[in-house]
A and B are shown apart, each in its own frame.
Chain A
């Protein structure tokens, strides 16, 4: 790969696409990677919103405004991608939770632990008001067992299907009892407490372990299970490199996880430092999700966007953040080869690059770029003849729209 291609590929995977300045700078992907991996995250999550009876929708909009800005303007795009990875893996949904406060709290947890010890992250997620509410573990109490979280935490968050029995689900649910979410309107926050008398204190038999197991024990057993290491390896590789990794790669990454005390940072570093990461098999091997399409367009062309309009566009394409159709999240790649996802992009591409009056919602300055710059920033400098022949009759705004709508730009 030549320099621009290599950097374009790296920044598409380690972030939401490169800006022209990033591509043209002398800093190498290796330097960027090491900076981003070793920085401690800046947590600028807004202060808790007051708990209100009316106006919950306004609060959700406020949360989305913050979230979109955060994703487009991130100083550490890799950290942002990792937070997004966890958001997609540990699904919680605003439609069920109904409160943006829970999600801001959730963001704080994901952001603080995104690159840390997987055990700490799992504990943070498990005891978050958002997850306790979304998968009903706040309703799970001794004598009134709710298995929802116990099942999903194994199936989707850690071990993967087929690695546990129905009995493990029931015993795990008993161990996970006792948590309660309380709204404290005066503090503008949801409070999580562990209520001892709601906890099933008996002996449980869980995945080969036996004893008076607690939530901490469940989390510890799950994150140290070999299946968890492998599932995490597959998921991280599939997201950042290519789908269906070879068994040797999975083994290698699972080993890294084990030898580094479940360090997420270490596994992520291993993914990006693998020679296969820069292979043709990885290059442009994913279809951008609607969210990714929007974020990369806005970021790469430095478009100033009205968040409410962006959320409307995402809704039409079927991917509003924190609104996945089920706990499994959204389908990747091929799942987005749909009419709503693809056709809407063509309209959105024009929306983003058009010239508006004061109230248009999007501000794009085409004077910053030559036609050649646009090919560099959006296509790694690899425009083809067919495409570039069309440029002659178009304005720069239209050239930008044309590239954003092109089939090749839809690939990540």
Chain B
């Protein structure tokens, strides 16, 4: 196999991301930066995440689902108690929270709103992702961005090749005689070139996934990630950070809480909070605390008033959380529960100004190239 074939093969499977640290560690640059985007798909309820606990309107709007025992982080804002593991991270100044983030003329469809967040084009065509445009401008390679999840996001979709995609649920379950027979077939080179590519991709992917699964299990134990599907996703995320990609995109689903929100949201936030806290510990243990910036976003928040089923309907503005080497604290003001617009929260911060600050100050790249215009600085970086 020549070098080009090898590289094609590696990038066509997940192997490159996994193998990179051991085979290129000498070439690793210590100041290479990684942006991690975590998408809470389905519309996270921002008001029950960062709770306006001193606002009397909050309890009026949510007579049955208001959070009563939040953990205060300022005079106005409190964490949902399920986020308790994040309190020390916040206290250390490694966490910034921008509240009231949305975009002009909010659209309450999941798809359209996701499309807007991921393309950063609130109007008109949105067939490329903002991260894909950035990555293609800096001439990123296939392995420079990694998507962790099932359905490939628009954010990473551009005109070029797909970036890597990984899911921990891929291990092949073949035992016994059939498993043996398959191994024999896959250990023999194929006559046709395309079949040979298939054979090699399968072998490499399988080896990579096997190694990965082992690594993840160990990581979950070492850094106390939650022993849940989401916890393992976070451990996988930490693992791929070792290959120093430019971007990692992780989608966590389940946030569309129209009915019986309280228990489900509690579980989701608990997984998220302890996952993020474990990730932060892991990052520090690997001495990458200056190199990784994590942004947690959702396509919209929920409506301030609860609905008739102990849940909330699609809303607008919500907080965006940033973890890592940030100027910790709260930005974007408190939710204006006394001046709702058609029952929804008015926007204070355009989400694109967060992207702009990340591109300008974290990536050292002119954001206007990607976002078509300039945005005022928020100051979290």
Contacts and interface: CB of A to CB of B under 8 A. Distances in A.
Interface of A: 93, 95-98, 136, 146-148, 151-152, 284-285, 287, 315-316, 318, 323, 325-328, 331, 333-335, 337-340, 342-344, 346-347, 350, 384, 386-387, 389-390, 393-394, 398, 401-402, 405-408, 410-411
B12 A346 contact: no
B87 interface: no
B125 A152 contact: yes
Given A346-B182, A402-B185, A338 B165 contact: yes
Contacts of A151: 125
B178 A350 contact: yes
B111 A315 contact: no
A223 B121 CA distance: 30
A334 B185 CA distance: 21
A329 to B, nearest CB: 11
Given A325-B152, A386-B188, A390-B185, A346 B172 contact: yes
B310 interface: no
Interface stretch (B193-201, B242-250, B370-378): B193-201
25 contacts: A95-B114, A96-B111, A96-B112, A147-B125, A148-B124, A152-B125, A287-B198, A325-B157, A326-B128, A328-B157, A333-B194, A338-B12, A338-B201, A339-B166, A342-B198, A342-B202, A343-B170, A350-B174, A387-B185, A394-B177, A394-B181, A398-B178, A402-B182, A405-B182, A411-B192
Contact of B195 (A331, A343, A411): A411
B223 interface: no
Contacts of A384: 191
B13 interface: yes
A96 B157 CA distance: 16
Interface in B148-164: 150-154, 157, 161-162
Interface stretch (B133-141, B203-211, B230-238): B203-211
A151 B127 CA distance: 11
B206 A152 contact: no
Contacts, number: 145
Main secondary structure of the interface of A (DSSP, over half): helix
Which of B125, B174, B191, B202 has the most chain A CB atoms inside 10 A of its CB?
B125
Contacts of B198: 287, 337, 342, 407, 410-411
Nearest to B125: A148
Contact of A337 (B13, B152, B154): B13
B67 to A, nearest CB: 27
Contacts of B125: 147-148, 151-152
B186 A407 contact: yes
B184 to A, nearest CB: 6
A325 B119 CA distance: 12
Nearest to B166: A339
A410 B177 contact: no
Contacts of A387: 185
A325 B166 contact: no
A340 B146 CA distance: 13
Given A323-B151, A346-B174, A339 B199 contact: no
Contacts of B358: none
A407 B111 contact: no
A327 B109 CA distance: 18
Interface of B: 12-14, 109-112, 114-115, 123-125, 127-128, 150-154, 157, 161-162, 165-167, 169-174, 177-178, 181-182, 184-186, 188, 190-192, 194-199, 201-202, 205-206, 208-209
A344 B205 CA distance: 11
Contacts of B165: 318, 338-340
- Across the A-B interface, the 9 shortest Cβ-Cβ residue pairs: A339-B205, A390-B181, A96-B111, A407-B195, A407-B198, A95-B111, A407-B199, A337-B12, A398-B178
A163 to B, nearest CB: 17
A350 B175 CA distance: 11
Contacts of B182: 346, 402, 405
Nearest to A386: B188
Contact of B154 (A318, A325, A335, A402): A325
A100 to B, nearest CB: 14
B246 to A, nearest CB: 19
Contacts of B205: 338-339, 342-343
Contacts of A316: 150, 167, 169
A346 B151 contact: no
B66 to A, nearest CB: 25
Contacts of A97: 111
* Residue of A318, A331, A407, A408 with highest tally of chain B CB at under 10 A: A407
Contacts of B185: 386-387, 390, 402, 405-407
A327 B202 CA distance: 29
A133 to B, nearest CB: 10
A98 B108 CA distance: 12
